[in-house]
Each structure stands twice: as structure tokens, then as C-alpha cells.
Structure 1
Amino acid sequence: MRKLLSFFCLLILGTISVSGQKDSTGLVFDTGSLEIKKITNEDLQTFKDNPDFNYEVIESNPSWWDNFLTWLWNLLLHFFQWLFGVEKAAGFLAEFFSWIPYILLGLLLFLLIKFFLNVNARSLLYSKKNQSSVTLSEEEHIIKNEDIQQLIQEAIQQKDYRLAIRYYYLHILKMLSDGEFIEWQLQKTNADYISEIEEPELKQPFGHITWLYDYIWYGEFDIDEVKYTRLETTFTSFKKRILKNG
């Protein structure tokens, strides 16, 4: 009897297990219709017109400017590798090297602009408040036609010592031109005259006088009678040098 009950229990458990497996593994079929998606030429054109989908790589020839920067960079790189004894810079040193070509280029442009605009830059330093300003066009008239010594005395009488220094410097230029130490021309700069003088005993003191003149006149540095007297001694001494070498 006991064996018969055990048999029925196993039969019932097996039936329940099979039923559960059938329920858990049931299949569901999709009966919907399929739609084939077609890509037209208009759809493709939309993507062709969008630059984000343009993956074509265009190789361009480097310009002369690119070649120049590359050459300059390689030159500097080899120099600093030799200087510091390293094959490749890193960190702050590498960052510094990368900026050097641009720093040198900026310096070169600055020097070129300063050279070509020197005459115009000087005229910009004239003060509108200075009623005794002398323009570059008047400079030629004064040197060739005026009695500069008389102009100096009139400026001193009016206590316009800056203007007196201006006239004194033009007088020095006239003496140098008459002595054929320089060739005076309106478009030339004071630096041009310094480079033209070949006599060492005139070149250095004239450079000093030019520095004083530029500082006082173009720098708009006001001077009083005492300072003018000291400067006049320097100008008078240089006039004697010109006469001695003439």
C-alpha cells in the first residue's frame, strides 16, 4: 500500500513539472507585415551636402611661410639642443621653445616698422600746446636761408630754451654739412647723420649731442636758464671740434 501511494505521488509531481515547463517555454510569433526601406538619391544628397560627413582628406602643399617657420624652428631647436645638451626639451622648456619663433618675428617686425616710420614717428611727438614748434618742412628753410645764430638769440630772449636747443642743433647740422662731414637731406634721420660721420673725434660727441637734443626736443623736456647754460657749453665745445677738423 505504501509503495502504491509513493507511485501516485511521483506521478502527480511529474505531471506538474511537465506542465510548468510547457508554460514557461511558449513561443510567440510576429504576424506583422515587413516594410522594405529604400534610400533615394535625395536622401544621399542630404548627407553629401553636410560637411560633417565629408571624410575626404585633402593634402595641401605648404606655403613659403610654413616652410620658413619650419626652418626657423628646426634651427632654434638644434641650437638649444646643443646649448642645453638635451635631445628633446620637455615641460616649461618645450613651451618656451615653441614661442621663440613668434617672439623673434615680432621683434623683427617692430624693428622694420620703427625704421620705416622713424621720420613720421618723430613728428607725432610734437605737442599741440607748444606754439614754438618747428616742422620738418621749416627745417630745410631754416638751415638753407635763415640766420640761425639770430634765431638762437631771439629764443633765449623769449626764455624759450627748448627752442634755442632746437636751433642750436640745426646750426650744428649746417656746420657739419658745410664741412662735408655729412650730406644733409630732409628725409634723413639723426641716426643717419651719426653713421655718416667717419671722424672718431666727431662721431662720439655728435652722438651725445643728438641724444641730448632728442631727449629735450622730442621728449618735451623743459629746461631753465641754468640747464641751458650747461648744454650750451657742450654745443660750443662741439662747434670748436668741427672747425678744428674742417
Structure 2
Amino acid sequence: MRKALVVLLLCCLTLPVFASVPAAKDPVQPARLINDSTNLKVRRFDLQQMDAYRAQKAFRYDDVAPLHEGLWEKFWRWVWRQINDLISNKYSGGFLKYLLIAGVVAIFVFVIVKMLGLDLRIFAGKPKVVEVPYTESADNIHEINFNEEIERAIAAANYRLAVRLFYLYSLKRLDESALISWLPEKTNQTYIAELADPEKRQQFSRLTTQFEYIWYGEFFIDKETFGYVKGDFDRFNGKGT
């Protein structure tokens, strides 16, 4: 009986050991490749449809040049690219930037001068002083033979003096028409303020600006420019001198 209990106890102690021993694994089977019999359909891009999308503004996400750009557009794109490269240059960029600004200012001044009917050759040197044998006194302005004096100034190509004579003649006509009260101590701006007719005042103000730039500013004008100024005076006075 005692021996039977000992054998039973040994069996109970060794049972967990045998239970923990893993079972023998089956041998690894080699992988098998299975051929895919699916019917594949190759799809390609529609080039014409892509060109149609590129031509639409809604599909342009950057500033890339159009595919069908003309020679004129290509030329200007190349010009602006060169200018941008020069300005971006750390050595010459600053100088070229101020040079471009100076060019824009020069063009603006040129346009203003031309609109006033002046000539840019005034910057070449100071014009010769014009001798005037009379003054704008109350006695002389009504005694000047304007037709004769203006013809003489034009024949001598002295267009600055001719403009002065036209202005004095305009003052004389305004005084004779009682549109202004001419006095030697009055300024040109005073005569402008005395004109009651707004249109007449605007026209005479423009003539006054031209006269002051040409005469007091000593601006040189050529024959062609003088023709435009003379036309303005003739229209203002209603007839030729």
C-alpha cells in the first residue's frame, strides 16, 4: 500500500513536465506561387484633353507661360526676365533700381514739359537775353503796333518775344472790352481773378502759365512749338493780330 502511494505521488509530480514539452512541429512546406489570371486593362492619358485643361484659366496654378505663346510674348517675357535678373544681382541691383526710377521721373517731366508747349533745349544753356524797347506801362501798352512788332519778332525767330507781345496784346483787348481794369501795378493773377466768365478765366489762366514759363522762366521754344502757342492766343482773342 505504501509503495502504491509513492508511485502515485511520483506520477503527479512528473505530469506537468511532460505536459510542457511542445509537440513536434510539422515540417515547413515551401511557398507556392499562384498565377494571377485577372484581366488587366492599361489606361493612358488623353493628351488632347490635357491640353484643353491647360488652356483654361481655372487650371493655371502658377505663372507659367502658355504653351502656345507667340514670338512677341516670348520676347517681352525674356526682356522682363533679364531685368529681373539684373535687379536681383547683389552687385548691380541697387544701382539699376535707382536708374529705372530716375528714367520714369525723366519721362514724366518730359511729358509735362511737352504738354505746356515748351522745348527741352532750354537745359542746354541759358538763352540770350532779349532786349525789349518798351515796358508794360499804361501809356505804352495802348501805343504798341502789335501787328508790326509781332511780325518783326517772328521774322527774327525771336519766338519768346513774340509770345510776350501776344500776351500784352491779350491784356490790351481785355482792357478795351472792360473785362479787366488794367493797371501797371497789378499782377497777372489779379487779371485772371477779375474775369467773370469761368471759361474765359480758364483759357486766360492757361495762356498766363505758358507766358510766364516761356518769358520769366526763360524757356526756349522753337518754331513748331510757337505755332501751337500762337494758335491758343489767336483763339482766345477771337481773331489774328
- Normalised by the length of structure 1, the TM-score is 0.43
Quick one: higher RCO (CA 8 Å, sep 6+), 1 or 2? 2
- Normalised by the length of structure 2, the TM-score is 0.44
Larger Rg: 2
